[in-house]
Structure 1
Amino acid sequence: MNTPRIGFACMYRHHERELSLKELKALEGGYNPRTTTLRWMDSVTLQAAREKLLEIVEHNLAAQIRLLGYVGQLPQGRRMLRLSSDLLPFYSHPKVAAFYQAPSVMARLHQQFATMGETAREADIRLSFHPGQFCVLGSDRPEVVENSLAEFEYHADMIRMMGYGQRFQDLKCNVHIAGRLGAEGVRVVWSRLSEVARNCITFENDEKTYGVDDCLQLADLAPVVLDIHHCWIHENRYIQPDDPRVDRIVDSWRGVRPVMHYSQPPERLQALGFTAEQKLEMDDLLKVVNKRDLYLHSDRMWNDWTNTYALQFTDRFDIMFEAKDKNLAVESFYRRFLVHRSE
């Protein structure tokens, strides 16, 4: 049995949470990306906008290298990280394209992203990206499809500069199906994705529209990322590890160890009488909360019934945690449930 990995997404949280916001910002800022707005860039001179954007890009790439260094010092079972999609603000926006295409900027990007890739490979860190919800490859609106393709290829460019995307699933870049055309719309645009993009793309079930069965319609093209929290909301029940669809999901990874996503609804359910030891049943929850309230992520993995349930998947899946406390949520879970497996 492979040692399972668990990872966190995009941002670093310092463990001393009792510090002031100013102190935490100072401690965390060197690991986390920054951004700006198009409105601000339009309000200043072109030179000022470019200087600010270059400063942000330099900070973001240095921060990701620093974050990779942090992850590289963790136990093997925690060397898994979702990189931020915000490293290069507005990279796919027509107004900003010329900035990134400048030879001096492009040379710097290649240098820094190469360092990121080398750092990750040397430390054996499993990496991923997750373009935002506005990346809608299955839209019925041509302009949305074009923007979505550009946004996904922005991620493919970062993957390529890091030295990944050369073989099937050497790095995961995950999207939801999304859009009125759904899976069939994705098939229509599939050939327009670069080889790097096709090597890395995965499709994750969502909680509202396109569930596990919809993602499995694309399993011949790309792996399916099982999100057990989304599946629970979508189907009003917990998918079991012996569900035949789980075998199909594993098969979609073609021999690469699959990744699943794991989250829990917010801790405030405890104030409504739901305990950490209790199985969260949808019928009981919907008597006191709106279903949309369950879409939100918890700070940490507070419900131990659900933790025990999720652990059943670790013999076959690595797990990306989606929790507000990021690395702290993963560390707590690892110490409680997985540290003995690596001893």
Structure 2
Amino acid sequence: MMNSTIKVGYACLNLDLDRGFKTCRFANLTNEKWIELISWNLETLKQMLIYTADHNIQMLRLSSDLIPFATKDKDEVDLNWQVYFQDEFDALKKLIKNLDIRISFHPGQYTVLNSPKEDVVERAIADLDYHADLLALLGGDQSNKMVIHIGGVYGDKDAAIQRFIQVANSLSSKIRRHLIIENDERLFNIEDVLYISQLTHLPVVFDNLHFNILKPENSRSMKTYIELAGQTWTTNDGRQVIHYSQQALGKKPGAHTRTTALDPFIHFIQNELSGPIDIMLEVKDKNRSAEKIQLYLDQDIGAAEKLWARYKYDVMAKSLNIYQAIRNLLKDKEHTDFEAFIQYLETAENLPEDIGNEINAGQHIWGYFKNQATDTERGKFKRNQEKLQNQEISITQFRRYLNQLLKKYPNPYLADSIYFKPFK
């Protein structure tokens, strides 16, 4: 059961795939190395797309490093990657369409259109051109976006705004159909960006955390600004996109939390939103936050049981009481309290390590291996329990040995467990 009113996505990285995007030192780049890197990265993207759809997520911001050094001058490398990998891109295009995932990009901080330096602007345009090409190769239409900030002030904010407007209006239609602009937390507030949108006809992405840090004088409400930003999106631009994040306590303003806490998110959607919208979650634990938030939105018992299968042993290692409470909660499949389920997961995640619970969880996991394990392995696991109890080894070391056994005795159910993939 997919919720159609609000959809969430995550950005660039997936914590639970066994592979990530690769690059290399530029000095070591050759045609052969480039082919190897791009081939790996496209396969990684394929797996990320499949994972994303399999977890009921329909938004994904792609890494700008998909094609390493794509816009950098390369004297020794002459590969036409768009032609060379045409078949792979065609397959990805078909996959994205079939999975119905809305892809996007967020070019980096050096993509600055309003710089007073012409060479900086030229490089920024080249970078946007690269991203537009990627979107085209992946089947993106006008609803697939690439978001940028306005840039710097350079001592004269009004002049900087006018430079941005001038450059933005001179961009090719290939770039402009995908380009959207975002309020930031330092220089250009939401009123600035809405003004720029009026003169460039570029859609506006509202960022809640940036707004809370940098509000306009005589600021209107967050809900009003979200609605005003939504008015800049045309039918061809697709559903309005906003960015949502939470401020990390004790960190500099704008620092994102490690996870998206459910309660503040619920308060946000109940008080600040008034219609269908796509929300890009900007958070350190990436797909994990997207999965739990989308689960809350969808209220899908099958998805809840699937998520619980991944978290159960990690929860058991923190609190047997919470583990049992979740088991009981999920038994009522007709009236499942999804909010309580996710709150239990969040509570367990924030608990300190507990050696007794850790050993108990380890014994449950050992049950998957004990009939295959050698006498030597049985002895080592027994000793590891004693060492952990006596604090002679760490919990990380205790889990590491169980992970070694998992690699020797593969088990798909355990392989997906958060227990073996703690977030650092």
TM-score, shorter chain, exceeding 0.5: yes
Residue in structure 2 matched with residue 257 of structure 1 by the alignment: 239
Per residue, is there more helix in 1 or in 2? 2
Amino acid at match of 1:145: V
Rounded Cα–Cα distance in structure 2 between residues aligned with 1:188 and 1:200: 17
Identify if the C-alpha distance between structure 1 residues 153 and 123 changes in structure 2 by more than 3 Å, giving closer, same or farther: same
Q: Which amino acid aligns with 2:118?
A: P
Contact conserved, 1:174 with 1:202, CA < 8 A, in 2? yes
**In the alignment, which residue of structure 1 is the partner of 2:102?**
126
**For 2:243, what is the secondary structure of its paired residue?**
strand
Where does 1:226-305 land on structure 2 (aligned, <5 Å)? 226-235=206-215, 240-243=221-224, 245-255=225-235, 256-266=238-248, 269=249, 293-302=252-261, 304-305=263-264
| Pairing 1:123-272 to 2, within 5 Å after superposition | 123-165=99-141, 169-180=142-153, 181-220=159-198, 221-235=201-215, 240-243=221-224, 245-255=225-235, 256-266=238-248, 269=249
Match of 2:42 in 1: 61
17, 23, 33: which one pairs with 1:35? Answer: 23
Residue of structure 2 equivalent to 1:333: 293
Letter in 2 for 1:134: Y
Contact 1:3–1:342 (CA under 8 A) maintained in structure 2:
no
Residue 91 of structure 1, aligned match among 47, 70, 77 = 70
Note the residue ranges of structure 1 that are not aligned, 5 or more in a row.
15-26, 42-48, 270-288
Equivalent in the alignment of 1:279: none
Q: Map Cα deviations across residues 302-324 of structure 1 (whole Å, 9 max, x no partner).
A: 37335412454273321000111
RMSD of equivalent CA atoms: 2.6
Bigger drift between 232-241 and 304-313 goes to 232-241
Unaligned runs of 5+ in 2: 154-158, 303-424
Structure 1 Cα separation of the partners of residues 163 and 276 of structure 2 = 30
CA drift at 1:191: 4.5
Corresponding position of 2:412: none
1:81, distance to aligned residue in structure 2 (A): 0.4
Provide the C-alpha distance between the structure 2 equivalents of 1:176 and 1:233, rounded to a whole number of angstroms.
15
Residues paired across the two proteins, number:
289
Give the whole-Å Cα distance in 2 for the aligned partners of 1:323 and 1:97: 38
Deviation at 1:205, TM superposition (A): 0.6
Contact 1:228 1:239 in 2 (8 A): no
Q: Deviations over 1:142-197 (max 9, x none)?
A: 111011011111101111212324xxx32111111103354322222234422221
Q: For residues 222 and 97 of structure 1, what CA distance do their matches in structure 2 show?
A: 38
Contact 2:113 2:167 in 1 (8 A): yes
**1:3–1:341 contact (8 Å) kept in structure 2:** no
Call closer, same or farther: CA 1:199–1:307 in 2, change over 3 Å: same
Q: Distance in 1 between matches of 2:70 and 2:247?
A: 33
Larger radius of gyration: 2
- Partners of 1:216 and 1:230 in 2: CA distance: 14
Measured at CA, do residues 189 and 136 of structure 1 come closer, stay the same or move farther in structure 2, by a change above 3 Å? Answer: same
Amino acid at match of 2:42: L
Alpha-carbon distance, 1:203 to partner:
0.1
Question: How far 1:53 sits from its partner (Å)?
Answer: 1.7
Give the partner amino acid of 2:131.
H
Of 15, 26, 32 in structure 2, the residue corresponding to residue 13 of structure 1 is 15
Counterpart of 1:179, as a letter, is: G
Aligned partners of 2:152 and 2:187 also within 8 Å: no
* Percent identity over paired residues: 30
Q: Which deviates more, 297-306 or 222-231?
A: 297-306
Which gives a bigger RCO, structure 1 or 2 (Cα 8 Å, sep 6+)?
A: 1
Q: Is the 8 A contact 1:231 1:239 kept in 2?
A: no
What residue identity is the alignment partner of 1:28? D
Letter in 2 for 1:35: T
Partners of 1:177 and 1:247 lie apart in 2 by 20
Distance 2:205 2:285 in 1: 22
Looking at structure 1, the residues matched to 89 and 108 of structure 2 have their Cα atoms a distance apart, in angstroms, of: 21
Determine the structure 2 residue equivalent to 1:316: 276
Deviation at 1:219, TM superposition (A): 2.0
Residues in 1 aligned to 2:266 and 2:178: alpha-carbon distance in whole angstroms: 28
Which consecutive aligned stretches of 4+ in structure 1 deviate over 6 angstroms post-superposition? 236-239
Amino acid in structure 2 at the alignment position of 1:258: Q
SS in structure 2 opposite 1:151? Answer: helix
Distance in 1 (alpha carbons) for counterparts of 2:263 and 2:128: 36
